[in-house]
């Protein structure tokens, strides 16, 4: 059987599939040529990440060949999942593979925000030799994470992984999740020791009002969860981190709150208009930015590839 990994696959995933007898093609096919390529080459498995779109027209055009659609990562908003399944095509993502990578990115941004590294890294090459003392003074109002409260909106796999790191920092954790009554978060150490914490999700209003930082981890795309009303309920000088989906945090309301001093800083890994984010978002002096790299670690990519391979072999091998 033939596999087209249109957005790539890790070497370990490719090797695992080939060892099971699958032919794996990693050619990047343009969206408009994808249907013809699948049919002409009799591709049975299409693997994508966020770049390739798998909509009804593509599904209809490839029904004679396509048996499996794999999404490397969590969100599947670029795939018409229900329609594909109605047509008998298996659709599978890898929800656990990138959990740790996303959680660590949250804290990469969070640590950089609280010490203004996102701004210092731009200013130092330009002004470090001539305005060293001024820059040192500008960044003198950094804050420590220990003792602060982080509010986690969405307390699934990633949210709970964020909580683990937060507990390690000595932070207080609050959570919002209507589907979780209580969660035990186990913090495992290198020497085999373990400390367990119990987190009971609270109301959105309570978490917003008492958190120094809000981080969002819900799967929905295009649904605004944090808008002007919610930002108004947050503590003054708080920060927001969005590594979930563009639009979950209202970018207009966020920029307005930053410009007016309601919020001190924000971190965005995802944007409304990917892959062309709004320039005013990119140019804000209060934002720490990255280009949707939550799962972009070598370890996560390796896990994604092998997890997809396991699903394909189980279904079609």
pLDDT in tens for each of the 317 residues of the chain?
999 999 999 999 999 999 999 999 999 999 999 999 999 999 999 999 988 999 999 999 999 999 999 999 888 989 999 999 999 999 999 989 999 999 999 999 999 999 999 999 999 999 999 999 999 999 999 999 999 999 999 999 999 999 999 999 999 999 999 999 999 999 999 999 999 999 999 999 999 999 999 999 997 656 899 999 999 999 999 999 999 999 999 999 999 999 999 999 999 999 999 889 999 999 999 999 999 999 899 999 999 999 999 999 999 98
Closest among 83, 94, 87, 5 to 44, alpha carbons compared: 5
Question: pLDDT at position 286, please?
Answer: 96
Residue 250, beta-bridge partner list: none
- Where does 99-289 sit in CATH, by number? 3.40.50.720
Closest among 105, 128, 69 to 288, alpha carbons compared: 105
For Cα atoms 86, 90, 91, give the angle at the middle one, nearest 5 degrees.
Answer: 95
**d(C-alpha 3, C-alpha 161), whole Å:** 32
Contact 157, 218 (CB under 8 A): no
Tokens at 147, concatenated: 């003792």
**What is the four-CA torsion angle of 99, 100, 102, 106, rounded to 10 degrees?**
130
pTM for this model (two decimals): 0.89
Question: pLDDT at position 264, please?
Answer: 97
Catalytic residue flag (residue 245): yes
Q: Could you state, in order of their start, the residue ranges of all structural domains in the chain? A: 2-94+298-316, 99-289
Strand ranges inside 72-134, DSSP E? 90-93
Of 49, 109, 292, 303, catalytic: 292
Question: pLDDT at position 179, please?
Answer: 95
Catalytic residue flag (residue 157): no
Tokens at 260, concatenated: 């007016």
**d(C-alpha 253, C-alpha 273), whole Å:** 16
Catalytic residue flag (residue 100): no
Distance between first and last Cα of the chain: 9
Of 23, 104, 274, 299, catalytic: 274
Question: pLDDT at position 50, please?
Answer: 85
**What is the four-CA torsion angle of 204, 104, 117, 264, rounded to 10 degrees?**
0
User: Is it true that 2-94+298-316 and 99-289 share their CATH fold?
Assistant: yes
Of 100, 245, 264, 303, catalytic: 245
Question: pLDDT at position 221, please?
Answer: 57
Contact 49, 71 (CB under 8 A): yes
Question: pLDDT at position 224, please?
Answer: 92
Largest CA distance in the chain: 68
Fold for 2-94+298-316, please state it.
Answer: Rossmann fold (3.40.50)
Question: pLDDT at position 317, please?
Answer: 81
Question: pLDDT at position 220, please?
Answer: 64
Phi/psi at 5 (5° precision): -90, 80
């Amino acid at each position: 059987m033939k596999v087209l990994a249109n957005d790539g696959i890790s070497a370990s995933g490719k090797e695992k599939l080939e060892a099971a007898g699958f032919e794996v093609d990693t050619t990047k096919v343009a969206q408009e040529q994808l249907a013809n390529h699948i049919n002409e080459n009799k591709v049975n498995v299409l693997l994508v990440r966020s770049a390739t779109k798998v909509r009804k027209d593509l599904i209809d055009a490839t029904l004679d060949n396509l048996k499996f659609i794999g999404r490397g990562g969590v969100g599947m908003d670029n795939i018409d999942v229900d329609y594909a399944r109605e047509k008998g095509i298996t659709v599978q993502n890898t929800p656990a593979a990138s959990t740790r990578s996303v959680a660590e990115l949250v804290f990469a941004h969070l640590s950089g925000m609280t010490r203004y590294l996102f701004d210092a890294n731009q200013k130092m090459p330009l002004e470090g030799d001539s305005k060293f003392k001024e820059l040192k003074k500008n960044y003198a109002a950094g804050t420590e994470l220990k003792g602060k409260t982080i509010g986690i909106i969405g307390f699934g796999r990633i949210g709970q992984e964020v909580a683990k790191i937060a507990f390690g920092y000595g932070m207080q954790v609050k959570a919002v999740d209507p589907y979780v009554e209580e969660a035990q978060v186990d913090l495992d150490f290198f020497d085999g020791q373990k400390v367990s914490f119990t987190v009971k999700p609270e109301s959105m209003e309570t978490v917003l009002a008492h958190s120094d930082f809000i981080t969002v981890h819900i799967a929905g795309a295009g649904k605004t969860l944090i808008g002007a009303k919610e930002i108004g309920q947050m503590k003054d000088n708080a920060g927001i981190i969005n590594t979930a989906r563009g639009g979950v945090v209202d970018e207009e309301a966020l920029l307005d709150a930053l410009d007016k001093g309601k919020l001190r800083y924000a971190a965005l890994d995802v944007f409304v208009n990917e892959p062309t984010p709004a320039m005013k978002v990119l140019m804000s002096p209060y934002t720490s930015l990255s280009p949707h790299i939550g799962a972009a670690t070598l370890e996560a990519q390796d896990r994604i590839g092998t997890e997809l391979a396991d699903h394909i072999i189980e279904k079609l091998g």
